[in-house]
Amino acid sequence: MLLSAAEVSLGGGWVASHATAAHLHGLALLRRPRPDRLVLTLPSAAKGHADLYGIHFHRAALHPDHVDVFEGVPLTTVARTLVDLARALPLRDGLVAMDAALHAGQVTQEQLMAVVSECRRWPWVRRAARAVALSDPAAESPLESVSRLFFIDHDIPMPTSQVTLTRRGLFLARSDFWWEAQRVAGEADGLAKYTDAAVLRAEKLRQERIESAGIRVARWTWYDVDRLQESRRTAARLRRILGLSA
């Protein structure tokens, strides 16, 4: 409905972008965009447009390689959409979106780097470039993405993501994070998601199996890394487990 209204009001030349393009592409975002608000980009040379009811405008260069079409709707490509979001939103939002798209095979890091290079003089592009540099296709959840920023903020060595743990060649478990030197497995969910008794017991046995191989397990939840005081306590606990100086 709103896209139809935009077509009537503006004619051609616009493309859906930012959160609107993310919705059309089916990208996973940390925060759900407003359903009653379109975000459109007009070419740099287009005459000025004030925001209309329910429509917010950006004006920027639209390289042909940055424009796609979905069900007849012109929109920015997945890579351009992610870079635009990473420029406009906090780093964690951009990183979560990039990780999810990379993991789902919707984009490649090479495509993201190409867009950053082509937009290298644009406002806030350094933030987008940092998100690309930190992105990890192995990340399987927003908490894993945010956890990597938590490690950086608290000077915790960056672990390897999604590692299969074995003992004498036999499968033990797959861990969200793995610190090889310290033989510590990191689980970015704690037990918060386990509400079924059978699932909870299976997870308990899984942890016992890991620990029986001489591997220590560190767990944390959103609450542990998303609040200032809790994140400091979590960092101190993790540093102790890793044998790092205070």
Q: Do the bridges between strand 170-179 and strand 184-187 make them parallel or antiparallel, or are there none, so unpaired?
A: antiparallel
Structure tokens belonging to residue 157: 């060595």
CA 43 to CA 40: how far, in whole Å? Answer: 10
Ranges of CATH 3.40.960.10 domains, the chain: 144-242
Q: What is the pLDDT along the chain (246 residues), one digit of tens a residue?
A: 455 555 545 556 899 999 999 999 999 999 998 888 999 999 987 665 667 778 999 999 999 999 999 999 999 999 999 999 999 999 999 999 999 999 999 999 999 999 999 999 999 999 999 999 999 999 999 999 999 999 999 999 999 999 999 998 899 999 999 999 999 999 998 555 556 677 778 888 888 999 999 999 999 999 999 999 999 999 999 999 999 976
Within 10 angstroms of residue 211's Cβ, the number of other Cβ atoms is: 13
Query: Quick one: pLDDT at residue 8?
Result: 45
Closest among 123, 56, 51 to 84, alpha carbons compared: 123
Query: Quick one: pLDDT at residue 9?
Result: 55
Question: Are 91 and 72 in contact, with CB atoms under 8 Å apart?
Answer: no
What DSSP letter does each residue of 169-230 carry, written as one string? TEEEEEEEEEETTTTEEEETTTTTT--SHHHHHHHHHHHHHHHTTT-EEEE--HHHHHSHHH
Give tens-digit pLDDT for 105-118.
999 999 999 999 99
Closest among 64, 68, 85, 84 to 76, alpha carbons compared: 68
Query: Quick one: pLDDT at residue 77?
Result: 98
Cβ burial 40-70 (10 Å sphere, 16+ → b, else e):
bbbeeeeeeeeeeeebbbeebebeeebebee
Question: Are 38 and 3 in contact, with CB atoms under 8 Å apart?
Answer: yes
Closest among 108, 144, 22 to 116, alpha carbons compared: 108
Q: Which CATH number fits domain 144-242: 3.20.20.70, 2.60.120.380, 3.30.70.270, 3.40.960.10?
A: 3.40.960.10
Closest among 137, 138, 134 to 151, alpha carbons compared: 134
